[in-house]
Every structure is written in structure tokens, then in C-alpha cells.
Amino acid sequence: MFEFDASEITNQLLNWVNLHLFNLNIFIQISAIFITFLVALLANRLFRPYINDALSSVANKGKKRRRTIEILNIILLPIIWVGLQWLMNIVFLQFGYQHDLLRITASLLNAWIVIRVFVSLVPTNIFWRRIVAFIAWSIAALNAANLLKPTITILSDVGFTVGDARITLYSIITGFLLGVVLFWSALIISNFLKQKLSDSQHLTPSVQTLLSQLIKVTLIFLSLILTLNIIGLDLSVFTFFSGALGVGLGFGLQKIVSNFVSGIILLVDQSLQPGNVIEVGGTFGKVKTLGARYTTVETRDGHEYLIPNERFITQEVINWDFSNSRVRRKIEIGVAYDTDVELAMKLIVEATVGVNRILSHPAPVARLVSFGDSSVNIEARFWVDDPANGLANITSDYLLNVWKLFKKNAIEIPFPQTDIHIKEIPKIDNSFLKPSI
């Protein structure tokens, strides 16, 4: 039967506590942690007014700038604290003092800062939040237990060789993590530079979009190259696969490459720019953004259509304000055959007076265009300024004026009718009506 001495276990536990907790080294480390916290708290109070002023100055300058300063406001205290703790680690190491507690505290603070920053930047993506939290706490735990270096050594021993390059499990993991950080940083930098370019008054919208797209592609490409170098891959290895890779890209990414190249062409020749009012494939609206793969067109009813850039190259596109902001409208109006046509034409021209955005020069005209089944058809022709503000509203106001003038002058707008002319009435045989005997 298993027996144990409770008093002996209690004595061993007390001895361990006295040895590892209640000693001068632990007291010095706890004091250092407490002092660094007080210094960090004081520095945080000194910097806080500057951050509040920055928040006030960017209140109306975009959500991203404000969010960045808000995140800095949240993590400023732990950043100062962890920086001071790592500084104390170096000091303790130089003088030969134990610094395990300082190292553990600094590691945990590092993990908390990483998680807090990521959660603030990606508040809705629970999956990636959990992944980052798991990685950060795992590294912190390994470092606190002095197992980080042995773990790195084990991961570095597991790998394979590609050409002259040695690919290890550790290089793959670090390459993946740093690749995600580099890719994410490239997107943030490109968005920041895009915002700066959009604020420039010396560049046209097309040039702004072109430069922002080129910067974005360049940064993403550089992040990919750096990730491959971190992993340890020699880029010359890919020369053996360049032929097959080119064929695969030719078939698999044909549409993506086509849309990207089409977008570059549109930006270079400036045939399409943000703000243009266009009509393509039955979609009428205003160009909102020119992207790498598609163009966003916003219609008058608020719908946003994502149209692939290739369609603007291969299909007919009506650009309502390509070289100027004027368009001509043609509206056909029918009047009855017994109408004074000259008076009707005069009234049709007169109805344009007072309608907003109908130009007086070139002067509106009315043309007799055809004789219909039920009406004499007259076409009103006039020029409209700024079609981006809509054409249906102008048409409605104009037709309402036509209706009022026609009613005032007793001009009839006919409805479709059909006249039946009977040349001869056939004789009816009434013999079947005679009574039978």
C-alpha cells in the first residue's frame, strides 16, 4: 500500500517556496517590475495629452488614421512597460543577476500586446484572432519555460533539400508568419499611399489610381520575394519550372491577367476615369473606382455593379462625359392628325424653357419625323448639361411642360385606334327561319 508523509511534503513545498520565491533575487526582480511599471505609468501620462490632441486633429480625416491613434492609445502603457523590462533584463544579465521573472513577465506582455493590436485591427475575424492568440501565447509560454531555443533547434533539424537550398520546418513556420506580416504591411502601406495620392491636387484621378495599383502590386511582389528568401528558397530553382508555370498561369489565370492588363490600359489612355458617367451592357451609372480586376459603377438607385475591366476593352462603352459634360436628348411626341402641327412644334420647343439643365445654346428644336398609324410624330431635340445628375428627372419635367402647354392650347395626344371600313354587307339566307309544315 502506498504511503506518504504529509509533513514531509509540506516541508519540501515550504523549502521550495523559500528557495525560489522568498529570496533576495526574487525581491529585486519584483521591485524592478514594480519600478518599471511606475516609470511606464508616468511616461504614459506625459504622452497622453499629445495622443488626445492627435485624436482631435484627425477626427474628420478618416477612420483609419483615427483607429491607428486609438490603438496606440490602448497599447502605449504596455509598450513602454515591456520596453523597460527588456532593458532591465539586459542590465541584470550584464551584472550576473537572475532575471527569470523579468523575462517571463516581458514575454507575457509581448504576447498580450501582439494579441491586443491584432484584435483591434481585425475585430470581426474570430478565426484569425484565435490563431494569433494561440501563436503568441505559445511563444510566450515556451520562452517563459526556457524551451524556446530547444524547440527552435528541433524544428531546424527537420527539413528537406531543394537544389542547393535547405528547407527546414522552422524556416517554413517563420517564413509563413513573417510572410503574413509582410503581406499585411504591404496592404496597409499601399492603402496609406493611396489615401495620400487621392488627396493630391496635382494628379488626375486616373494617374492616382494607376500609381496606387502599381505601388500595391510592387509591395505585394516584394513581400513574396522576401518571404521566399526567409524560407531559404533560391529563386533560381524556379527556372526549372518556369515553362510549366507559364503554361499553367496562361490557362488558369487568363481572365485575371486580362482584367489587370485591361485596367492598366484604361488608366494609361484615360478613356475611363473615376467620376465618368457611362453606359455598358445596359448598366448606366457613375464610375466610382477603378480597381485592378474590376471597375465599380454606381447607378442612380444606389446599386454598385462590379464590372470586369476586360469588358471595357472588348465591348462598346458609352461615356457620357468623355470630352465634355453635354449630351443631346431626343424625345418623340405624337399629336393627332387634325392638330396644327406648326403650333405643336412651337409649343414643343417652348416647353424647354425653365427646365433645369436644358441648355439654350445650342437652341432646342422640333422636327417632324414621321406619320404614324394614329399620330403625327414630332421629335424634340435639346442639349442637357451634367448628365451625371440624371436624365430621367429632366425628361419628366420637360414632358410635364409639354402636357400643360398642349392642354392649354387644346392639342390632343392621340391614343392608338383602328378604323374598320365595310364595303359590302353580304346577303343573309333567311330560308331556315321559315316555319316547316
Domain ranges in the chain are 6-146, 272-319, 326-408
Q: Which helix (H) or strand (E) holds 328?
A: strand 326-335
C-alpha–C-alpha distance, residues 176 and 182, integer Å: 10
Please give the pLDDT value at position 360: 87
- Residue 17: the pLDDT is 56
**Residues of the chain predicted below pLDDT 70:** 1-23, 55-68, 121-125, 162-163, 204-206, 233-253, 388, 427-437
Neighbours of 60 (CB within 10 A): 7
Q: How far apart are CA 414 and CA 427, in angstroms?
A: 37
Q: What pLDDT was estimated at residue 2? A: 46
Contact 368, 378 (CB under 8 A): yes
The contacts of residue 107 (CB under 8 Å, 6+ apart) are 139, 140, 143, 144
pLDDT of the residue at 1: 45
Angle subtended by helix axes 24-57 and 63-94, to nearest 10: 160
State whether CATH 3.30.70.100 applies to domain 326-408.
Answer: yes
Check residue 162 and give its pLDDT: 67
Same-fold call for 272-319 versus 326-408: no
Rg, Å, the chain Cα set: 39
Q: In which residue are the cell numbers 520596453 written? A: 83
Element (H, E) at 384: strand 376-385
CA dist 195 and 189 (Å) reads 10
pLDDT at 293: 80
Domain 272-319 bears CATH identifier 3.90.1150.10: no
pLDDT score, position 346: 94
C-alpha closest to that of 404 among 333, 347, 341, 320: 347
d(C-alpha 260, C-alpha 339), whole Å: 58
**Cα–Cα dist 315/283, whole Å:** 13
**Predicted pLDDT of residue 408:** 92
Cell representation of residue 125: 475575424
Helix (H) or strand (E) holding 166: strand 165-168
Cis omega (within 30 of 0) for bond into 387: no
CA distance 398 to 356: 9
pLDDT at 350: 94
